[in-house]
Amino acid sequence: MSAPLADQLDIVIPTIRNLDFLEEWRPFFQPYHLIIIQDGDPTKRIYVPEGYDYELYNRNDIERILGDKAWAISFKDSACRCFGFMVSNKKYIYTIDDDCFVAKDPSGKPINVLEQHIKNLLTPSTPFFFNTLYDPYREGADFVRGYPFSLREGVPTATSHGLWMNIPDYDAPTQMVKPRERNKRYVDAVMTVPKGTLYPMCGMNLAFDRDLIGAAMYFGLMGEGQPIGRYDDMWAGWCTKVICDHLGVGCKTGLPYVWHSKASNPFTNLRKEYKGIFWQEEIIPFFQNLTLSKSSTNVEDCYLELADKVRKGLGHIDPYFSKLADGMVAWIEGWRLLNPPAASLEK
Ligand SMILES: O=c1ccn([C@@H]2O[C@H](COP(=O)(O)OP(=O)(O)O[C@H]3O[C@@H](CO)[C@H](O)[C@H]3O)[C@@H](O)[C@H]2O)c(=O)[nH]1
Ligand SMILES: [Mn+2]
């Protein structure tokens, strides 16, 4: 099996259950280093299948490493995975949920998600003009007639958002009215999300370039003690997309697919996400109308400017958003603590 960039990519897995799913992924994942974020009870022992190279962090580790900034990392929510993005020192991250397994393409061939995500990340994005034949850099495709040649070089790709066969990532209301709906449709396409368009980024099967967008991949304040859950990846998706648009880098969605095996409880999910369902009707226009200043030329500065705009622009909805803005600042402080600029390392 191919294991591209095995020395440049970490796999981040949040888990509050177990890691048995890694047995099925072994042919594809074993060459890579894993960063496991153990959520919930830190005294519980999580078994990692033999033969994997990994580091594992539980809540005690997060508190020990981040100290007075640890509060910004969620507890009892998959949002905890972003701590893995912070501690990694690799250029690329792939994150996957522990109930996602190897899917098969229409020919029955098992899908090597890392191979496809890396292809997506290493080929340019086309956010400024939509190519109707989808990914023009793919074997057997190209830019179609009328596509401006001045734009055909594309821009660097920051994120690669994969999809899911079987259990789709639906919100609780949709899941409640369509409990038996399964995604059986394999769409053989990768496309760039156009500039100025937001998208619902799901953390289930996601890869990104840490150098290009890692510092904005904060999954927010969710789970225990918070008024909202299951909007962790959505929050990160909105923040990263406006910053990618500002910095002129791209976000792709489509291939590869994973097999999402388990539907979480829609009633529990409704309790977690209901505030998000009506808050997002104000949050999304906020992001759609947001512009970042020209002086914000790197991800960290963009993110701190965004935190300030969140405090001012969303604080009226609920005091939660001021706390979330504080969390965004604490996240960058933690990011800088664990990822000091290269120059400061030379001293
Ligand atoms: O308290 C928790 C709950 C879960 N996890 C780990 O996070 C992922 C996703 O958990 P699960 O599969 O139960 O949730 P889904 O509803 O299928 O996930 C979708 O909703 C998003 C919620 O944010 C999530 O990213 C989507 O994939 C598993 O690995 C759990 O073990 C946790 O760490 N803490
Ligand atoms: Mn799941």
ipTM of the complex: 0.97
Grade residue 4 by pLDDT with cuts at 50, 70 and 90.
Answer: confident
Grade residue 346 by pLDDT with cuts at 50, 70 and 90.
Answer: low
What distance in Å separates the CA atoms of residue 228 and residue 271, rounded to the nearest whole number? 8
Taking the CA of residue 15 as reference, the ligand 1 atom at the shortest distance is 31
Strands 33-38, 53-57: pairing is parallel
Provide the pLDDT for residue 344: 63
Protein residue with its CA nearest to atom 30 in ligand 1: 15
Provide the pLDDT for residue 342: 72
| 205 CA → ligand 2 middle, Å | 10
Taking the CA of residue 17 as reference, the ligand 1 atom at the shortest distance is 31
| Single-letter code of the amino acid located at 25 | W
Provide the pLDDT for residue 345: 57
CB-based contact 97:204 (threshold 8 Å) = yes
Predicted confidence (pLDDT) per residue in 171-227, tens digit: 999 999 999 999 999 999 999 999 999 999 999 999 999 999 999 999 999 999 999
Predicted confidence (pLDDT) per residue in 19-43, tens digit: 999 999 999 999 999 999 999 999 9
Provide the pLDDT for residue 322: 98
Provide the pLDDT for residue 45: 95
**Contacting residues for 9 by C-beta, under 8 A, at least 6 apart:** 32, 90, 91, 92, 93, 94, 114, 118, 207
Taking the CA of residue 167 as reference, the ligand 1 atom at the shortest distance is 17
Each residue of 319-337: b (16+ CB within 10 Å) or e? Answer: ebbebbbbbbbbbbebbee
Predicted confidence (pLDDT) per residue in 124-171, tens digit: 999 999 999 999 999 999 999 999 999 999 999 999 999 999 999 999
| 182 CA → ligand 1 middle, Å | 18
Q: Compute CA distances 185 → 50, 106, 144, 259, 336, whole Å.
A: 34, 10, 26, 12, 42
Predicted confidence (pLDDT) per residue in 284-299, tens digit: 999 999 999 999 999 9
Provide the pLDDT for residue 341: 81
| 264 CA → ligand 2 middle, Å | 6
| 262 CA → ligand 1 middle, Å | 10
| 59 CA → ligand 2 middle, Å | 21
**Ligand in nearest proximity to the CA of 98:** 1
Q: CATH 3.90.550: does it fit domain 9-346?
A: yes
Q: Compute CA distances 110 → 24, 101, 139, 169, 247, whole Å.
A: 11, 10, 20, 21, 36
- CB-defined site of ligand 1, < 6 Å: 14-17, 39, 76-78, 80, 97-99, 169, 202-204, 223, 230, 232-233, 262, 264
Q: Is the pLDDT of residue 343 over 70?
A: no
Locate all alpha helices (DSSP H) within the chain, ordered by sequence: 22-29, 59-66, 82-87, 113-122, 172-177, 210-213, 232-247, 266-288, 299-314, 320-338, 342-346
Q: Is the pLDDT of residue 323 over 90?
A: yes
Please list all protein residues whose beta carbon sits less than 5 angstroms from ligand 2, which is an ion.
97, 99
> Which of the listed residues 44, 58, 97, 238 should we mutate to test ligand 1's pocket, taking the one with most ligand atoms within 8 A of CB?
97
Q: Is the pLDDT of residue 79 over 90?
A: yes
Percentage, residues of the chain above pLDDT 90: 97
Q: Which two three-digit tokens encode residue 247? A: 């910095």
Q: Is the pLDDT of residue 115 over 70?
A: yes
Provide the pLDDT for residue 3: 81
| 78 CA → ligand 1 middle, Å | 5
Predicted confidence (pLDDT) per residue in 237-282, tens digit: 999 999 999 999 999 999 999 999 999 999 999 999 999 999 999 9
State mean pLDDT over 73-82.
97
Provide the pLDDT for residue 106: 98
What distance in Å separates the CA atoms of residue 54 and residue 72, rounded to the nearest whole number? 24
3 state DSSP class of 258: strand
